């Protein structure tokens, strides 16, 4: 091997110009083959042979259910249910405005039927807690419904304070809501505004069952 390498180096040295020209031709051919033959495949299904039984079943499924082909799923992660819903709705509206790029846009977690009838899917105990919490907050919500602004909010908080003066124990039912308002206002004063979640105020732990994602 050593002798062969010595002879090869000597031959290349004696015929340097033809060797360089041949190398340039080979590099050019290799570059052309790479540009025309090599590509990046982003479809992971193509990594497996189509002759595999499970691949054949998958391809048959795609033919029977074309609505699941070329499907792009966007997942929204937010700190509050309201922020997640608003972001998802805004994204869906933006995508629907591009019919040349996006064929259809669907939000499976925001179907009108579940928006109307979603409470009926709760267990009786969980539904009773939500209704009891909503009934307890009726005076507070009524004030906000009449004036859904900053003035109405502080007027409603003032009603709670008046009720606490008459019966301090009655304030215990509103303590989680008051703590939430306190954290929201303190965050604004500290320069770290954080939206208040009304779903969590009324739904309690029930609002967390849907998770952070939309």
Tell me the pLDDT tens digit for each residue of 55-103.
999 889 988 988 778 888 999 998 888 888 899 999 999 999 999 989 8
The phi-psi region of residue 194 (left if phi > 0; otherwise alpha if psi is between -120 and 50; otherwise beta) is beta
Query: What are the backbone dihedrals phi and psi of residue 105, each rounded to the nearest 5 degrees, phi first?
Result: -130, 130
The tens digit of pLDDT for each residue in 194-211 reads: 778 888 777 767 777 777
- Is residue 188 pLDDT above 80, yes or no? yes
Cα end-to-end span (Å), the chain: 66
* Tokens 């505004």 belong to residue: 193
Which residues neighbour 77 within 8 Å (Cβ) at sequence distance 6 or greater?
84, 212, 213
Mean per-residue pLDDT, 169-189: 79
> What is the C-alpha to C-alpha distance for residues 206 and 201, in angstroms, rounded to an integer?
10
Of the pLDDT bands very low, low, confident and very high (cuts 50, 70, 90), residue 105 is very high
| Listed residue (186, 179, 185) closest to 201, CA to CA | 179
% of residues, the chain, pLDDT over 70? 97
Question: Percent of the chain scored above 90 by pLDDT?
Answer: 19
Query: Higher pLDDT residue, 134 or 207?
Result: 134
Q: Give residue for tokens 């937010």.
A: 78
Q: Which residues pair with 213 in a beta bridge?
A: 77
C-alpha 94 chain-centroid distance: 15
* pLDDT computed for residue 170 by the predictor: 66
pLDDT band at 39 (very low <50, low <70, confident <90, very high): confident
In angstroms, the CA 118 to CA 163 distance is 33
């Amino acid at each position: 091997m050593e002798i062969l390498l010595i002879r090869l180096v000597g031959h290349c040295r004696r015929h340097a110009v033809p060797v360089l020209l041949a190398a340039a031709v080979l590099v050019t051919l290799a570059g052309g083959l790479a540009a025309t033959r090599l590509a990046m495949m982003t479809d992971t299904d193509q990594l497996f042979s189509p002759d595999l039984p499970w691949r054949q079943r998958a391809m048959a499924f795609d033919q029977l259910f074309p609505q699941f082909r070329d499907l792009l799923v966007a997942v929204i992660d937010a700190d509050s249910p309201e922020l997640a819903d608003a972001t998802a709705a805004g994204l869906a509206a933006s995508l629907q405005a591009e019919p040349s790029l996006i064929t259809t846009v669907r939000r499976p977690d925001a179907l009108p039927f579940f928006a109307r009838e979603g409470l009926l899917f709760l267990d009786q105990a969980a539904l009773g807690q939500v209704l009891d919490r909503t009934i307890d907050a009726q005076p507070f919500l009524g004030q906000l419904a009449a004036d859904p602004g900053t003035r109405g909010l502080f007027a409603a908080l003032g009603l709670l304070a008046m009720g606490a003066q008459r019966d301090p124990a009655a304030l215990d039912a509103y303590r989680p809501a008051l703590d939430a308002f306190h954290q929201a206002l303190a965050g604004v004063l500290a320069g770290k505004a954080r939206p208040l979640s009304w779903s969590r105020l009324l739904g309690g732990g029930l609002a967390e069952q849907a998770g952070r994602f939309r």
